[in-house]
Amino acid sequence: MVAGRVPQSRFGRGSRLGRLAAGQAVRGVGTRLSMVGRTEDARRILAERSTLQAAQQIVTVLGGMKGAAMKLGQMLSVLDVDLVPEPHREMFRVKLAELRDNAPTVEFADMRKVIENDLGPLARVFGDFDETPVAAASIGQVYRAKLHDGRSVAVKVKYPGVDDAVEADMRNLALLSRLWKSILPSAADEAVLDEIARNIASELDYPREARTQHRVALRYRDHPFITVPDSIGEYCGHHVLVTEFVDGMAFRGLRALPDSERDRIGELVYRFYINSLFSDHEFCGDPHPGNILLTTDGRVAFVDFGLYHSMDPAHVAFERDCLRAAGEHRADDLYQAWVDRGIIDPDAGVTARECLDYVWAAAGWHLVDEELTITPELATGAVVLAMDPRAAEFRGMRRQSLPPEHVFSRRADLFTFAAIGQLDATNNWHRIAREWLYDEPASTDIGRETARWRDRTREQD
């Protein structure tokens, strides 16, 4: 699919979302009815056909719209979506992954205008420019190029009109909620969608992203296991972001690596997205597989810093204290902390035990002191539960609310879990977590070597 411009009007984008949601609902009912009385083979064929049609429609509509709507599709692509029968879920997930790995592209002629409006004639900045994008995401496309000094660079370019498109998406939360509900009924929480649409606006600020990426790249300079490509500030504008190019294996290749290597990468993903919040009070809020690469020297590269957040140390401490209370089974302390913070209404009938069980269900991977293999099914259960705790055992929490200052960090935590789940990685995650939960020394080889690197870095500073 090729498009020259992203649909921008609220009506135009909203009507497409509405048609997609309605289509999914009709297809779901029709498929269920058509299966009644059929043989098992017929059920299998119909389920497969419905799965493929649904996935293709979602990819086509969300991919063409881009903006916040496409971000929704990218998020779904890391989940083990329970819309479809168990035998066909992997097929559905792979199809949705096209939104992450092979998104629809905009003609280069249109993208070139965006580049030259920011940087001037292409030949003035670049000695060579590959017109075929290497990645296409929710806000823009990424190209590979060379500067005149020979450096290979990644050039991220906004889609024409995407600023207006995202603004329209923000006004379409009700329709986005219908779409989410038709795809993943248990996660139809409008507050979650509001958070997605509100925060995706920060991805439009390329100058801010360039500054952030430069700062994070300096922080991880010479790290033994992790690398972050630096931004090249002199060539970054409001619609174009130029960074060092990372030549590495994409996430789909990582899934085929031996168990020990996937476990190693899983630990590095955990440390980059989770440990950074508690050690640096900053975190990257977009932990999906499309932003993770394995370089030729064995380091794991992390890219895309549009959704990068800092957090008040007091709010970080609150999250740490709550996790400690849950891990130590201090249900009353956890309950009181949530009441004091306004998370729990003391008159809502929510019990201390319910709070404790909920934290263990959603964040227990940080707390269980044993080796745990994170699977897509395990991760999806936590994500769905945390976003919409409507299972019978958590019914009392249905109307409770998470303060805004914690929504984004909890989303980052959950989708880190989902990304690691795609690796089927095994570790004692609690032992890694104890570094930030209790300020204990590292217990893994990676953790100890990282600690030595940090000590060297501090001495040099």
What residues form DSSP beta bridges with 226?
A: 300
Per DSSP, the residues of 217-232 read HHHTTT-SSEE-PPB-
The pLDDT mean for the chain works out to: 77
Domain coordinates in residue numbering, the chain = 2-102+172-186, 310-460
Given the DSSP bridges, would you call strands 105-106 and 372-373 parallel, antiparallel or unpaired? Answer: unpaired
Query: What is the predicted pLDDT for the residue at 287?
Result: 86
Kindly give, in sequence order, each residue whose CB lies less than 8 Å from that of residue 244, ignoring residues fewer than 6 positions away: 151, 152, 153, 154, 217, 229, 230, 231, 232
Indicate the pLDDT class of residue 139, thresholds 50, 70 and 90: confident
Single out the residue of 248, 277, 267 nearest to residue 423, CA to CA: 267
Taking a C-beta distance cutoff of 8 angstroms, is the pair 8, 170 a contact? no
Query: What is the predicted pLDDT for the residue at 199?
Result: 66
Quick check: 84 pLDDT over 60? no
What's the rounded Cα separation, in Å, for the pair 165 and 214?
28
Query: What is the predicted pLDDT for the residue at 354?
Result: 86
Taking a C-beta distance cutoff of 8 angstroms, is the pair 2, 104 a contact? yes
Higher model confidence: residue 249 or residue 38? 249
Q: How many CB atoms lie within 10 A of CB 147?
A: 16
Residue located via tokens 């190029």 = 145
Residue 324: helix, strand or coil by DSSP? helix
Instruction: Report, as an integer, the average pLDDT of 21-43.
Output: 37
Indicate the pLDDT class of residue 344, thresholds 50, 70 and 90: confident
Quick check: 17 pLDDT over 50? no
Burial 414-433 (b: 16+ CB within 10 A, else e): bbbbbbbbbbbbbbbbbbbb
Question: Percentage of residues in the chain with pLDDT exceeding 70?
Answer: 63
**pLDDT (tens digit, 9 = 90+) per residue, 224-255?**
999 999 999 999 999 999 999 999 999 989 99
Kindly give, in sequence order, each residue whose CB lies less than 8 Å from that of residue 313, ignoring residues fewer than 6 positions away: 281
**pLDDT (tens digit, 9 = 90+) per residue, 361-408?**
778 889 888 888 888 767 766 665 555 444 444 555 545 566 667 777
CA distances 385 to 346, 361, 392, Å, are 22, 8, 11
Higher model confidence: residue 57 or residue 242? 242
Quick check: 45 pLDDT over 50? no
State the first-to-last Cα distance of the chain, in angstroms, to the nearest integer.
50
Indicate the pLDDT class of residue 67, thresholds 50, 70 and 90: low
Query: What is the predicted pLDDT for the residue at 162?
Result: 80
Burial 249-287 (b: 16+ CB within 10 A, else e): bbbeebeeeeeeebbbbbbbbbbbbbbbbbeebbbbbbb
Quick check: 302 pLDDT over 60? yes
What residues form DSSP beta bridges with 141?
A: 136, 157
Task: Kindly compute the dihedral angle of the four CA atoms of residues 102, 103, 108, 110, in this order, to the nearest 10 degrees.
Answer: 180
**Radius of gyration for the alpha carbons in the chain, expressed in angstroms and rounded:** 22
Indicate the pLDDT class of residue 57, thresholds 50, 70 and 90: low
Lowest-confidence pick of 120-124, 173-177, 264-268, 281-285? 173-177
Quick check: 125 pLDDT over 50? yes
Query: What is the predicted pLDDT for the residue at 19?
Result: 46
Instruction: Report, as an integer, the average pLDDT of 179-184.
Output: 52
Quick check: 194 pLDDT over 70? no
Interaxial angle between packed helices 190-200 and 67-76, expressed in degrees from 0 to 180 and rounded to the nearest 10: 120
Query: What is the predicted pLDDT for the residue at 68?
Result: 58
Higher model confidence: residue 35 or residue 221? 221
Instruction: Report, as an integer, the average pLDDT of 287-309.
Output: 91
Query: What is the predicted pLDDT for the residue at 378?
Result: 74
Query: What is the predicted pLDDT for the residue at 289?
Result: 86
